[in-house]
Amino acid sequence: MDHTLYMLAVLGISILIIIVLSIKFRIHAFISLLGSCFIIAFATGMPLDKIAKSIETGMGGTLGFLAPILALGAIIGKMMEISGGAEKLSNTIVGIIGKSRAAWAMMIVAYICGIPVFLQVGIVLLTPILFCIVLESKQPLIKVALSMVTALTVVHCIVPPHPAAMAITLSLKADVGKVIFYGLLVGIPATAIAGPLYGGWLAKKLTLELPEKYCSIKPTPIDKLPAFSVTLFTILLPLLLMIGKTIIELFADKNAAYMPVVNFIGNPITALFLAAVLSYYIMGIKQGNSLGDLAKYTESAMGPMATIILVIGAAGAFNRVILDCGIGEVLKQVLTAIQISPLIMAWLIAIVMRFSIGSATVAMMTAAGFITPVLAVYPNLDPALVAVAIGAGAIGASQVTDPGFWFVKESLGIPMNKMFMTYTAATSIAAVIGLAGVLLLAQVVG
């Protein structure tokens, strides 16, 4: 068999194995990814003494930077939960925008609150608030709910310091500030069209009933909630610091005496650490919690991160093995021979993997592994655009292979026969709009 075809066949079979193990046999994604690393290594003839080293390098290189970001984001999310910070944001924004535009208010709240937390955590955090807003505003549940879950899904995939978006930013060696800026430019219109606008159209054709257990829900007294301004500032602080670093780098002398300080404060780990410490004070101590209470909350926030860390680490190892075994070079030759924009290519790989495997995080990391060898042929292409294109692809095609699909279904009480025209359709619309936004943005900044 031709060497190129053989190497591509090995890669295809390894991906198929990941899909079959994850879907058919319900094997954990960590084991599936790690098993595929060994299959690729053995099938391509990697020296035995190089295999473990490649896996170790891939996992360590990915998690060395990402693990503290995951932990710090979990802390900020937990502080928002215990303090009622998310509820305060929603109350204030609904008050400003008006109850008749509750879906837009919910979209904004979810977009902001989703930055430091994973999709499932965001849904748990915001679902009670969602039903409160629906009861008070009398707006259709499907319209407000789609605005929330679409915003959470979009920000999960394309806006660092969210761990999934940060992982591919790191993998592609893209500028974090640029990815945040581009992600916001692309993500907000994608969310608006797939959330409030599509949800509003769908509400005329489809009705969802409010789950009975939420019909008598009562909001937290206003005097028990933290202040709006400091809550918003705490959540947005990491973004402000990282984008600020990028802006300063554009106009300042890189050898200036103050640049080491700028780089230090704008580093994602430093930025999130400062926000986490501030959240301890604003949403923890000032709300009457003791240091002992905060220690318990921190511990409870860390537990769910273990699985995510393992999966992202294994995906990083999978990407490293692809590069080290020679498949990366073959991919570069084949994909560059195909006359297609690398941005479209990155988006296609991500959405196909998202549809096949389900996990947006795994889809994004796998797509980054595919596209990384190709970038060497496009030295003028900004990796930040590629990161956003991958994220946009990973938003779409959520269906039964996606754990988030089932979480949305159960949390919001959406019947199975309505999930495809609601959440699946909304995520797919957002993905397509996201791609269009990236391509347009590439024409402007490229």
Residue 72: both structure tokens together: 């710090």
Residue 187: both structure tokens together: 């993500």
Q: How far apart are CA 214 and CA 423, in angstroms?
A: 21
Q: Are the C-beta atoms of residues 310 and 66 closer than 8 Å to each other? A: no
User: What is the total count of domains within the chain?
Assistant: 1
Task: Give helix 85-97 / helix 228-251 axis angle, nearest 10°.
Answer: 90
In a domain, 399, yes or no: yes
Query: Between 289 and 135, whose confidence is greater?
Result: 289
Task: Identify the pLDDT of residue 336.
Answer: 64
Query: Between 207 and 41, whose confidence is greater?
Result: 41
Q: How far apart are CA 426 and CA 350, in angstroms?
A: 17
Q: How far apart are CA 145 and CA 127, in angstroms?
A: 9
In a domain, 163, yes or no: yes
Query: Could you tell me the pTM of the whole model?
Result: 0.72
Q: How far apart are CA 229 and CA 89, in angstroms?
A: 9
Q: How far apart are CA 219 and CA 88, in angstroms?
A: 10
Q: According to DSSP H, which parts of 376-424 are helical?
A: 383-395, 403-412, 416-419
In a domain, 403, yes or no: yes
Query: Between 30 and 163, whose confidence is greater?
Result: 30
Domain, as residue range, for 147: 57-445
In a domain, 37, yes or no: no
Quick one: how many helices (H) and strands (E) in the chain? 22, 0
> pLDDT, tens digit, for every residue of 354-382?
876 667 887 888 788 888 887 877 888 89
Q: How far apart are CA 184 and CA 257, in angstroms?
A: 31
Helix/strand/coil (H, E, C) string of 38-63?
HHHHHHCCCCHHHHHHHHHHHHHHHH
| Token pair 């198929």: residue | 16
In a domain, 81, yes or no: yes
| Token pair 């606008």: residue | 197
Which helix H or strand E contains 234, and what residues bound it?
helix 228-251
Q: How far apart are CA 28 and CA 23, in angstroms?
A: 10
Task: Give helix 48-83 / helix 163-171 axis angle, nearest 10°.
Answer: 150
Residue 335: how many CA atoms within 13 Å on its side-chain side?
Answer: 26
Residue 210: both structure tokens together: 């409010």
> pLDDT, tens digit, for every residue of 300-309?
877 766 776 7
Task: Identify the pLDDT of residue 357.
Answer: 66
Residue 324: both structure tokens together: 């080290």
Q: How far apart are CA 62 and CA 316, in angstroms?
A: 6
* Confidence check: pLDDT of 437 > 90: yes
> pLDDT, tens digit, for every residue of 170-219?
888 898 889 989 999 999 999 999 999 999 999 888 877 766 655 555 66
In a domain, 132, yes or no: yes
Q: How far apart are CA 216 and CA 132, in angstroms?
A: 9
SS3 of residue 379 by DSSP = coil
In a domain, 308, yes or no: yes
Q: At residue 341, what are phi and psi to the nearest 5 degrees?
A: -55, 135
In a domain, 42, yes or no: no
